[in-house]
Amino acid sequence: MRLRGSCSRVKLIKVRLDRPSAPFMSARLLRFFLRPEESRREQVLRFAREDPRVPAFPDTARRLVEALRAEDVAIDRIEEIVKTDPGLVSQLLRLASAPLFGAREIRDLPEALLILGMKEVRRMAGEVLVMNSLREVSARAKWEVFWLHSLLVGRLTQRLAATLREPEGWEYLAGLLHDVGKLFLTYYFPGECQLVMSTAMSNHQSLHEAESAVLGLSHAEVSAVLCERWKLHPQVVQAVRRHHEVSARHVAFDPAEERRLATCVYMANGVAMECARHLGPRRGVDLVEISKIEVQTLPGWRLFKEFGPREPVCLELEEEARAVVALVEEMRSSEEGKGGRTRTRRGW
Ligand SMILES: [Fe+2]
Ligand SMILES: [Fe+2]
């Protein structure tokens, strides 16, 4: 019995050592991984809360979100914050000269900020910084598909939330990060993720139901734990945690704000899934097909309507789809410019 026990322990170590970051794993990290008494759920939560390789939330993004919450923020202030991140500066310059914004030559950062506009800068800066900080782990997933979806959900969540009440400034983060737990799970638990996919297919379950069956928790809960760790606003954390729960009538929400933002994310998620068939970074956007999407027929619309939008809902799907494709294109070309460096680096 003892022999068999030690064999399984050896096996467990072997599995961990197969992972790309393992050759550099310190004794402390090895101890961190090896806790056979834990359930899978406990292990996932511990990794999400404590693993030192989970990247920090980009401080520049946090400062920009804060600064741009004020409507009349001075452009100098934004320039001052953006300048602290040279990578962000070059990406904003390239984005401002993209065809979407008139394909003109941009000389400096203030000009780029003016062309993009404050709202756009806040979103793009947040998006670029978050994508940058998570690019290591994204390399394991189909990152273009993941980011196209997440960026679109972020933007649509922001638009939907604005029709219900004055924006608080963090709505788009809730949409942007709603599925970040999927990246985490793909990175740490690739085998279990494959099992989740096959379970979902054979049992005709949704992905988050299959995750709960296999792992004991869904990607939504993992996303929320990561947002908590990054000290994002509690409303973001709750909306992310419950973005698949809003359709379940029996689930109690308290306070109502939580349901409001979670419903916006849920609705935006449904719209983005519908759009996904008609856009891609290498094939652009099929504007004709996107324009045919009837938001009122999608899942989540009835729930969303219950909050009584104070103005007609206009999601500008074509415009948003083109913007997210441009962002992902930009990300891909900057990565290719580095010779695919991120795909060979280790860890988060
Ligand atoms: Fe989700
Ligand atoms: Fe999603």
Whole domain around residue 109: which residue ranges? 56-133
Task: Please tell me the distance between residue 31's alpha carbon and the centre of ligand 2 in angstroms.
Answer: 34
Q: What mean pLDDT comes out for the span 260-269? A: 93
Q: What pLDDT is attached to residue 22?
A: 44
Does 17 map to a domain?
no
Q: Are residues 43 and 184 in the same domain?
A: yes
pLDDT digits over 89-148, tens only?
887 888 888 777 776 777 788 888 888 887 777 777 778 888 877 876 666 557 788 889
Task: Please tell me the distance between residue 149's alpha carbon and the centre of ligand 2 in angstroms.
Answer: 7
Task: Please tell me the distance between residue 150's alpha carbon and the centre of ligand 2 in angstroms.
Answer: 7
Q: What pLDDT is attached to residue 85?
A: 82
* Ligand index nearest the alpha carbon of residue 272: 2
Task: Please tell me the distance between residue 299's alpha carbon and the centre of ligand 2 in angstroms.
Answer: 13
Does pLDDT of 13 surpass 50?
no
Q: What mean pLDDT comes out for the span 237-263? A: 80
Average pLDDT over all residues of the chain: 80
- % pLDDT > 70, the chain: 80
Q: Are residues 282 and 338 in the same domain?
A: yes
Does 160 map to a domain?
yes
Q: What pLDDT is attached to residue 203?
A: 92
Give the other-Cβ count within 10 Å of 36's Cβ.
Answer: 9
* Ligand index nearest the alpha carbon of residue 271: 2
Task: Please tell me the distance between residue 171's alpha carbon and the centre of ligand 2 in angstroms.
Answer: 15
Q: Are residues 212 and 125 in the same domain?
A: no
- Cα distances from 286 to residues 164, 249, 337, in angstroms, run 29, 36, 27
Task: Please tell me the distance between residue 12's alpha carbon and the centre of ligand 1 in angstroms.
Answer: 30
Q: What mean pLDDT comes out for the span 283-295? A: 89
Task: Please tell me the distance between residue 243's alpha carbon and the centre of ligand 1 in angstroms.
Answer: 7
Q: Are residues 84 and 170 in the same domain?
A: no
Q: What pLDDT is attached to residue 114?
A: 84
Q: How far apart are CA 32 and CA 35, in angstroms?
A: 7
Q: How far apart are CA 326 and CA 323, in angstroms?
A: 5
Domain limit, last residue, from 133, 156, 184: 133
Does pLDDT of 23 surpass 70?
no
Q: Are residues 168 and 268 in the same domain?
A: yes
Does pLDDT of 57 surpass 50?
yes
Q: What pLDDT is attached to residue 197?
A: 93
Residue 177 — very low, low, confident or very high, per pLDDT cuts 50/70/90?
very high
Does 158 map to a domain?
yes
Does 284 map to a domain?
yes
Residue 225 — very low, low, confident or very high, per pLDDT cuts 50/70/90?
very high
Task: Please tell me the distance between residue 240's alpha carbon and the centre of ligand 1 in angstroms.
Answer: 8
Q: What pLDDT is attached to residue 92?
A: 83
Higher pLDDT, 330 or 4: 330
Q: Are residues 147 and 124 in the same domain?
A: no
Task: Please tell me the distance between residue 319's alpha carbon and the centre of ligand 2 in angstroms.
Answer: 20
Does 70 map to a domain?
yes
Does pLDDT of 21 surpass 60?
no
Give how many domains the chain has, as a whole number: 2
Q: Which of 55-64, 135-144, 173-182 has the highest mean pLDDT?
A: 173-182
Task: Please tell me the distance between residue 332's alpha carbon and the centre of ligand 2 in angstroms.
Answer: 21
Task: Please tell me the distance between residue 212's alpha carbon and the centre of ligand 1 in angstroms.
Answer: 13
3-state secondary structure the chain: CHHHHHHHHHHHHHHHHHCCCHHHCCHHHHHHHCCCCCCHHHHHHHHHHHCCCCCCCCHHHHHHHHHCCCCCCCHHHHHHHHCCCHHHHHHHHHHHCCHHHCCCCCCCHHHHHHHHCHHHHHHHHHHHHHHHHCHHHHCCCCHHHHHHHHHHHHHHHHHHHHHHCCCCCCHHHHHHCCCHHHHHHHHHCHHHHHHHHHHHHHHCCCHHHHHHHHHCCCHHHHHHHHHHHCCCCHHHHHHHHCCCCCCCCCCCCCCHHHHHHHHHHHHHHHHHHHHHHHEECCCEECHHHHHCCCHHHCCCHHHHHCCCCCCCCCCCHHHHHHHHHHHHHHHHHHHHHCCCHHHHCCCC
Task: Please tell me the distance between residue 193's alpha carbon and the centre of ligand 2 in angstroms.
Answer: 16
Does 221 map to a domain?
yes
Residue 64 — very low, low, confident or very high, per pLDDT cuts 50/70/90?
confident
* Ligand index nearest the alpha carbon of residue 150: 2
Domain limit, last residue, from 133, 155, 188: 133
Q: Are residues 228 and 334 in the same domain?
A: yes
**Least confident segment among 55-59, 243-247, 255-259, 260-264:** 255-259
Residue 7 — very low, low, confident or very high, per pLDDT cuts 50/70/90?
very low
Does 229 map to a domain?
yes
Q: Are residues 82 and 63 in the same domain?
A: yes
Q: Are residues 128 and 71 in the same domain?
A: yes
pLDDT digits over 308-339, tens only?
888 888 899 999 998 888 888 877 776 666 65
Residue 190 — very low, low, confident or very high, per pLDDT cuts 50/70/90?
confident
Q: Are residues 113 and 172 in the same domain?
A: no
Q: What pLDDT is attached to residue 343?
A: 40
Task: Please tell me the distance between residue 135's alpha carbon and the centre of ligand 1 in angstroms.
Answer: 19
Residue 20 — very low, low, confident or very high, per pLDDT cuts 50/70/90?
very low
What is the CATH number for 198?
1.10.3210
Task: Please tell me the distance between residue 312's alpha carbon and the centre of ligand 1 in angstroms.
Answer: 26
Task: Please tell me the distance between residue 179's alpha carbon and the centre of ligand 2 in angstroms.
Answer: 5
Q: What pLDDT is attached to residue 81?
A: 85
Q: What pLDDT is attached to residue 266?
A: 94
* Ligand index nearest the alpha carbon of residue 147: 2
Q: Are residues 60 and 155 in the same domain?
A: no
Contact 157, 126 (CB under 8 A): no
Q: Are residues 262 and 187 in the same domain?
A: yes
Q: What mean pLDDT comes out for the span 45-53? A: 89
Environment of ion ligand 2 (residues, CB < 5 A): 179, 269
Q: What pLDDT is attached to residue 130?
A: 83
Domain limit, last residue, from 88, 103, 133: 133
Does 21 map to a domain?
no
